[in-house]
Structure 1
């Protein structure tokens, strides 16, 4: 061999080795864990592969599994020629599988060719993470600090990073020197490991002295109340942290601005006391003068409305920016109302005889003339009707739904809207402009839209080249352009996207589309040609799934909705990822593909799963006015047997009775997006003030589906055995019944557009259910029960939310009887409907027992005022009526109450104490009643 040839060969293999190592280096920087890779290759590129061996450094019971996985990842086969690209593709696939921590590739020369030997070491995977000593933080707080999760591979370096992150979080919480260790508990049966996080928090800092330097306008007591670190210091074990101090300082500055100190500046200085545990804090305050704000000359808007435009109370007035921004906002409000030339100046006058330096900021407003639109005329239109054009306009004379204000910016938007309308109709050379004639006093505006339509261009022909005739015929109906319809230059790009999407779904993800349009001389016809270059056809190869330590693989593959060996569909890949993320059993889902960027004929898909913790326990104790003291417990598994099924069992006991229930839910009933559940229950209930109780045992079967973001429909079936018994032990015909067997079918529909489930401030919640009841032994259970419930939430100004409720219920008997059992009637009164009355005693008989009816109507209006610091003041008005009662006792009329209360907002909802006062109190009735509630009544 010549010396030059040796040099060339050495250079070749140096470059080849660099190519092989480059992806590994890049991957190690981009990925959380990167396997080590070594390769030793033969020194000839025309060598054939004689054999491929895979050696697995794992327990013998797992070697077969990993060898099969590795062979599916290695794209090379015996008989192939060794090339750097092929070796690189195999290594990339093995790395991306997230299954192997070390990868070594070697070659052995044999008489038949080169034998490739892959030596692979599987990762250790996290089966579970157990956390000890995390109080007062929740387990979820610790997991959020960690970058590892069950299902992830890990290295010793990863464990070190987790301890640093957890220590940092505890120091933020005020602990002086927390110590965190992470130990591994290997499992003998497989390669999975349990991580045990042991947290030793140690001592924490406490607040020492808290003083305010420079304070004059606000008392030290009020400032302390707004500081969380001070409130915490009053409690045993209250911690001090710099993080909380910074938050408190921001809150104090906000509080100062709300009180009119727009120039206030605050800084907090801390020093460690001699004992090393207490931190002394000095809050240095530059209050500046106090300001009051008033408005002069405003007739069109109330002061309260204009105050919404002031940023002084939130942002302050540093370098007069607050005043300038506020003036700009007020001018914008006037301009949008038709005042074209408002003038606003701010006068600053010192207020005499005040203990603090105080100034009045007076916004002096010269509103000027309010300009209304008198007429809107359309000129020059011939092919598009005037009414169709006017529908595009927001500039219009006053009417029932429009104030008729003339706003130049709105007119500009209208001109653009009309221009767009003409473009959509194929007028490529249209010209739209406006002229405005103002009256002498500028109170009236006569608007004219001047239109030069130009020729209308229609599509003469559409030709798609590069595809078969059948493919072109299928695509043409989906295009925005159709023969004989208006031609739009902007729609060409949309059509290109449509063609690319449809062709891509057939396995051509690298498709390229070019579009051109030939327009005739008169610009009346355009002939469109789309040239399609499909590119190489791509097939989906194997799908590799990792991280599913519990979930059955067939559950995941079912959600992916793609099969290996089929044409690659990027949309299907996206839909599959969305389906997996919609499942409640996964914490995170990520996708990776190999071969797509390289335009390979086969693309492999890698799905990395992080499973959510399947088991859960819920325990609650409390008191509510309608049930008294209660206790609740519930245990469940979100991912039963790894099959994406939810099984739970729970119970509740209270002063009104108890209930035991269990339920199994299948979120993908027979492979659809319909949720099915089956359950069983036993309940014994004696509601407050009722002379009877009920004992019910039964089972339920229900099916439900969500339609978009707001709509839900369901259909449920219930079979129950019901006993009605007397509370006082005296058997009567009305209260002691034989066991009744009842079948109930319930269709249900709900619309929910609320912005929050826990504390809604905007939106609507409306539901309608129809119980179709059929008694097996007795006709009294043959009835239909309608229940309609609508709730509306509105927040017109910050901190004030109005909530309203309208509820209607009706029971209609069928089958030749007009009787309805007492336990199926509607009863009103109490925390859930008309407050101020005892539970179920809105309507009662001469003996003081509640009277139920076949019809119930409830209406409520509530104002919720945010007081800050998680407190909420509530005022309400309730009214209700129980009608169509079995006896003449009670009244069918409406009864009402007003009241107020105080709620404390917790992360799981509000807790409140409310008092309702009867507006139409009858003789011997109390004036009102206190109610204690958890959550909102509506």
Structure 2
């Protein structure tokens, strides 16, 4: 919706791909499609006006809030405004999605009108995207995806994505250089059995140089489904239940390098077989999540929290069965007019499973945990705890530019701290510091459908160990990790 010219370009690329695959069925005169852009501009103005109306609502309410004289009045006022804003935000998203579909339909109809034959209809009913760039977890990568956001006309979503990467960036010698291949087919049902439930299911394949087990190659194949249920007595609280099966295969990536490491630390090389233990698992994971954020893009008020227990049953050896409990909580505090302070706490612990494979251990270090360290640079263990404080603020004068993309860009200042417990063999082999405190600065922008894109530079405030750098590192993050 923010830039329909981009949508037209993407549509053209999809059409051209379809024609090539159809062996010359026909052609599309895209000048006719672009002629319909006047309507798109009209819709853009309508949606932008609705967004400005929401911004003005917050400004007006902030003035009212400042005039209140007691904490009780302020608390009551905050709760009331939060409910009103949620309703406005829902109406805004509904309008935005409706208008977007209208524009896409008009473009599709215009394209159909100039088709020589109707054999490309299926191509026009789906959307595709190609992304390339850099990421700490995949290296130089290319990602291609195709999705249908109204599958069978029932508002269901089907998506197929693939990723090819050159390998882990900002990693150390513990990660075997290996091409990264990933593919995922997902299906989302927004009304599963009734309107309070949703279903997300996926099938995936991953082949990469393992960043959990040093110098190993890792392959995963899995099937997973998650049912989410919104609780009626608290609209911000949802329960989830995830079930799935996963096959994990590990193999040696550098036999000579591994032997040298074990000899250097006077460890028995026979223990390597235990490190490389994968397995076939049935997983069940109930959970609870709480979300009272005022916005999913750049939240300034509210909280986000979740807790999840995962039981992994070893189907090829019951001794591998284990259970883990993981939790997270975030609090968003508004600062000045447009900035925010985010306080985050996370933790995880192995509840049972003395023979839990090391591949399932927790890890710290990298763009998604302790920034300023390479992937796994802090350590791996059977439990962990970490926290962070991050101040996010708009870049000065960017709001004067008429580029919607830049309106979501934030300059961040942060501190991360964390520790792993009961370190694994990998932490011993590479002399990980086990605990760390870092500080740094970064840039972050939230992209719809992708998530947060971030680049950060952090440096350690504690001893980084012999394999770390006292000067810190840059880290690059793209959305949430696929793995």
Query: TM-score category by the smaller chain?
Result: 0.5 to 0.7
Higher CA-based Rg: 1
Identify the residue that residue 929 of structure 1 maps to in structure 2: 473
**Structure 1: distance between partners of 2:432 and 2:34:** 66
Q: Secondary structure at the match of 1:650?
A: strand
Identify the residue that residue 652 of structure 1 maps to in structure 2: 163
Match of 2:387 among 836, 852, 859: 859
Identify the residue that residue 191 of structure 2 maps to in structure 1: 668
Q: Tell me if 1:725 matches 2:251.
A: yes
Q: Secondary structure at the match of 2:364?
A: coil
Q: Tell me if 1:198 matches 2:58.
A: no
Deviation for aligned residue 1:644: 4.8
Q: Secondary structure at the match of 2:362?
A: coil
Q: Tell me if 1:878 matches 2:420.
A: no
Kept after mapping to 1: 8 A contact 2:377/2:432? no
Match of 1:679 among 199, 202, 212: 202
Correspondence 1:792-831 to 2 at 5 A: 792-814=331-353, 818-831=354-367
Match of 1:747 among 264, 286, 295: 286
Correspondence 1:586-601 to 2 at 5 A: none
Change (3 A) 1:200 1:894: closer
Higher helix share: 2
Kept after mapping to 2: 8 A contact 1:872/1:905? no
The CA RMSD over aligned residues, in Å, is 4.2
**Structure 1: distance between partners of 2:281 and 2:34:** 58
Deviation for aligned residue 1:933: 3.1
1:163-203 Cα deviation digits (max 9, x unpaired): xxxxxxxxxxxxxxxxxxxxxxxxxxxxxxx99871678xx
Q: Secondary structure at the match of 1:198?
A: helix
Correspondence 1:300-311 to 2 at 5 A: none
Q: Tell me if 1:715 matches 2:213.
A: no
1:60-111 Cα deviation digits (max 9, x unpaired): xxxxxxxxxxxxxxxxxxxxxxxxxxxxxxxxxxxxxxxxxxxxxxxxxxxx
Change (3 A) 1:905 1:822: closer
**Structure 2: distance between partners of 1:904 and 1:698:** 31
Q: Secondary structure at the match of 2:423?
A: coil
Deviation for aligned residue 1:781: 2.6
Correspondence 1:253-652 to 2 at 5 A: 615-652=126-163
Change (3 A) 1:745 1:903: closer
**Structure 1: distance between partners of 2:100 and 2:474:** 43
1:744-792 Cα deviation digits (max 9, x unpaired): 0011221112222222222211111111110012234311111101111
Kept after mapping to 1: 8 A contact 2:378/2:434? no
* Aligned residue pair count: 354
Deviation for aligned residue 1:900: 1.6
**Structure 1: distance between partners of 2:184 and 2:227:** 18
Identify the residue that residue 900 of structure 1 maps to in structure 2: 441
Q: Tell me if 1:762 matches 2:304.
A: no
**Structure 2: distance between partners of 1:841 and 1:700:** 29
Change (3 A) 1:901 1:679: closer
Q: Tell me if 1:835 matches 2:377.
A: no
**Structure 1: distance between partners of 2:390 and 2:10:** 36
Gapped runs of 5+ residues in structure 1? 1-133, 143-193, 202-313, 315-328, 338-393, 395-400, 404-577, 590-612, 844-851
Q: Secondary structure at the match of 1:827?
A: strand
Q: Secondary structure at the match of 2:359?
A: helix
Change (3 A) 1:693 1:757: farther
Q: Secondary structure at the match of 1:793?
A: strand
Deviation for aligned residue 1:619: 2.2
Kept after mapping to 2: 8 A contact 1:627/1:687? no
Greater RCO (CA < 8 Å, at least 6 residues apart): 2
Correspondence 1:213-252 to 2 at 5 A: none
**Structure 2: distance between partners of 1:642 and 1:858:** 44
Identify the residue that residue 734 of structure 1 maps to in structure 2: 274
Kept after mapping to 2: 8 A contact 1:862/1:875? yes
Q: Secondary structure at the match of 1:669?
A: coil
Deviation for aligned residue 1:805: 1.1
1:49-68 Cα deviation digits (max 9, x unpaired): xxxxxxxxxxxxxxxxxxxx
**Structure 2: distance between partners of 1:799 and 1:688:** 38
Change (3 A) 1:687 1:803: farther
Change (3 A) 1:770 1:929: same
Change (3 A) 1:910 1:745: closer
| Superposition TM-score, scaled by structure 2 size | 0.63
